[in-house]
Structure 1
């Protein structure tokens, strides 16, 4: 009930005016809160207070407007047809009077909401179109506005002061906004009710249609469940389902043809599986034999690999020994080079000694000449120079001995130099021989290293070949196992084909008459479709009518 929704609510809170149904929840709320409506219409507290202040003067005009409205209801042919009795008119008149008494109070409390709901429900039960309520509000509003400008002006309510003029304008605006808000709420209630009713009708129609479609296909589906593929839908179904029925029957024809072909080729598949099983067993035996041969070849290859591995190890040891020999020969070459350097130093020293001896020989020669000159000078001196002559004689003799010693040393140094030169030549030849030996040993070492690398590569290749043979052996074993499994699976497939033949024979694929009851079901579906079209057209017409009713409300709201 609306009262349960509005109880305890007032303008300070947001209380809904419309009890939303399932259709409204699915499509979104169609009616907002009262606060939103009043704010949008600019019907604030001052405007409502102004209405309450002029309410006693407006009540006679409201009563006159309601009398005029119901006079028009009774005299206008279109409106009079809406009422079935005078009692209905009286009941509606009382509700209008009660509603306008609460509305002109402009409090918009739960009592107002209840009166709006009661009036809307009563009009709905009477079958009155919402447009008559809009027209009724227009008639009463006409009397109110005319009264404000006529009656109030005659009583001096319109003096020349701007304050009175502004108050009159505010009163007219408040009356128009009050009536438009009430019209919008009432129309929203009516259309929400119509929408819910249409949804219920459509749901009922959908249930009926689903039931009719179930009746149409139920017997056929039961026959299919029992394995009867000969059942077909009649072609005299409604036009909307004729293409579906044709497709369904064509699909069943295709299934029957497929099952027939399956039954025809079943024996061929059975023979093929038996042959496949025999071939699988033969292939498994051959795969086992090939795997045994590969195992023997793998064992032989492992022996060859071991021999080559030992050769590679010996080549590696030879390479290391040759390396050590090369190192020793290179060390000997270094020693010879040092000896050559030493002999070159001796030769240089001998040459220096030769130069020194030459200097000594030159000194001895000069000393000899000096001693000779001294002897001559002593002889000239006579007895006074005799002692000096003796000394000169001794010096000369000493110089001669020094010269002879120098010549002997020079001869020895020359001999030593010649011997050193010969030794240098021999050492050079020795160095050349050692260098040749080093080069040959290096070449031998390189050849041995190449041989060792080749041997290692052969070992790796043999390892790869052994692995490949092992993999081939494993693959052959796996192929043998797969062949045995394939043979076993062929036997299982043969069993499955036999069971498939038994299953196929359970289906009935001969054509028979369509099940009874399809014609009556088709007529029910056709009736449901026609009824659905009528309801849909009615809904669309109501929506269009609602849009037409709301046009003046939107226009007034825009003007305000």
Structure 2
């Protein structure tokens, strides 16, 4: 329910206040029905009550009660004295009117007394603090108006009472909060009397009471309420003047005995800006100052390298104890960290490189741990490479030393051979001179033979021409014989024809037949003789042809002999010239052999020096190997590829070292430190040293399953690195940390895969070297006979 009582000032209404009071269910139901009737135009409200015809005509609510009593009294007097003015009114009527008027006067008095009694009851309820009574102020008379004012007073006092109650509850809440507060709070009134102290300040004052009694013997921490704040001062005049003129926060530090107290004083003002009191916060900073001094001492010692001091927390409590314990834990953790690093460095100085930083750290310490362990791992791997390299250098130096000794022996042997060669060259020079003289004599004989051969060739040419003439005559005789043979054949045919004709003639032809027979016989004999002559001529022709061929061959042979003799003569001439030049050349060779002998002697000396140097290098390599051998490294740091691709092993080891350094930069990037870190290239799996090797030189191993797994895992790692960078830029540090842990897992798997890849490359290289045919070294052939040319 909403009430709007007027606000009076100097007897006049200056405004209205709005007060809302919760309505009951019955009131809500009645209000709903009233609203329906008002909407239907059946009901009108006045002062919150329905206006009826009776209420409109009711004189007790429209007129003043005193006026009604006077009016009814006058009417009663008139009725009593009506007989004096007229005799027309009957007596009983007059008496009846008198009774009515008396009843009206009594009714007015009763109604008035009832309203006054009701007002009295309302005033009693208000006095008792009950402000929820319903006051009927309907009407227009003085009592109704008084009840209206009483209702306004009831509502306003109820509202003020609720405000005061709320303020009291708020003050009680504040007082209880201050009572439970950990700060030491004290409140004094404007007369400097203590009106409030919370538990914390009581406890603090009780704690420092022995120190306060040294300067204030009458101080009693248990009986300070309602006491003046002057009990804290021997001469309170200054503090009194200070508090009276205080308008702002005042801070002071007081020293009482061994106790040090900070005091913060604030004035308390009312709404009209009048100071009504003072609130003071007490801080016992004795322990805090002692802790600060202790911390200062500890930090000073820590800056000088002393980390053994700790804060004594036996007499501390609360925040100071918690802070001191935290500082002690920090010092303990830092001391353990320094001890861990010192132990690692100490063992490193003794050659042990297998130790690592342990412990679970966060932030920059974790980054330092990762960087230190990565550096140690890289140093250990480097020493492993150096150790293997020292052994290899020692082996190669030994081989060089052995080869130098062998070369020295060979050089000395060569020097002896050169001496023999020089002696042999002198003999060869003499022999060549004799050969030159013999060659000159052969050249002369060859010229004479050439002349005689040329004369024989001319005679053979004439013989060949004669034989060719006989051959031509034989051919002509053969042609004549062929003609005779043809004539004999034709004669035979004619004799045959004559015999045939004689046979036809009979007896007359017998003589002709005899002649024909004789002719035939002669023809046959001529044919036979011609055949014999033809055969003889053929045989003679063949013999002549054979003789001609032999003559021609002989002529060709003589020609060849002459040509050969010319060539031999030319060669002998050239040989003679060459022999002369060879003689000169051999003289130069003798000089060169002498120089070569001298140089061989010098080479022998250099080879001896090389052998000595190789021996020294071998000794130095052994010393280096012994020195590196003093450093203890784990088996995982030893290079695994001994018979395989040494370059691949070195590149993979370098990639591992770079990969570890890269993860350290990622740790520092997450901490917000300035690092050489390209966010774009960090997302790519082909920009880091390992990625460059995987997509560069490493592609010759692309067929290996380990290589394929490594490429895939390396790409996934860089994708996760991109997620870390995105989370860091979005300032989602928790997500960045989770993704970074995944990167670390990928990193460890990658390092393991690199080791597996190195093993696989070593296995394949070993298998390839086993299948490759061996090249055996063969000693130079030796000669057992005394042939100077073989030695040469």
Indicate the TM-score class for this superposition, using the shorter chain for normalisation: under 0.3
User: TM-score, normalising length from structure 1?
Assistant: 0.25
TM-score by length of 2: 0.19
Structure richer in helix, relative to its length: 1
Structure scoring higher RCO (CA < 8 A, sep ≥ 6) equals 1
Structure that is richer in strand per residue: 2
Larger radius of gyration between Structure 1 and Structure 2: 2
